[in-house]
Amino acid sequence: MPTASEPPVTPDGRYIVVRGRLWRRSDPALSGEERQALVDELMDARRAVRDSADEAATAAARARVQAAKVALGERGPVWWDDGAPDFNRHMARNTPYADWYASLAGDR
């Protein structure tokens, strides 16, 4: 069972669940080095959003966040190829993962 710092991962490995909501995981095909470089860029971009002084800087920083999230596979086209739909940002209880998610309540 995941710890407080490790959210549950769906059985197919596509999503984590945070406060009942599914969030797409990074593409597992990324190398560790590539993934880390993208995570570093994402964190830098988030800091830039926080520290931006004007609307143009904020917009540019948000575009960097989006680009990093897409490159990680967390947004944009799905990284799996079996044709399954994307349930990113859906409440787990309203998806095909509902029974799995409900079964976690007994483990908590």
Q: Domain segments of the chain: what residues?
A: 1-25+85-108, 30-73
| CA angle (69 as vertex; 99, 92 as ends), nearest 5 | 10
Nearest of 48, 67, 44, 66 to residue 58 by alpha carbon: 48
Is residue 21 within 8 A of residue 92, CB to CB? The reply is: yes
Kindly tell me if the per-residue pLDDT of 19 is higher than 60: yes
Token pair for 73: 């596979």
Which residue in this structure is represented by tokens 């990680």? Answer: 72
pLDDT in tens, 47-92: 999 999 999 999 999 999 999 999 999 999 999 999 999 999 999 9
Kindly tell me if the per-residue pLDDT of 108 is higher than 70: no
pLDDT in tens, 24-52: 999 999 999 999 999 999 999 999 999 99
- Report pTM: 0.85
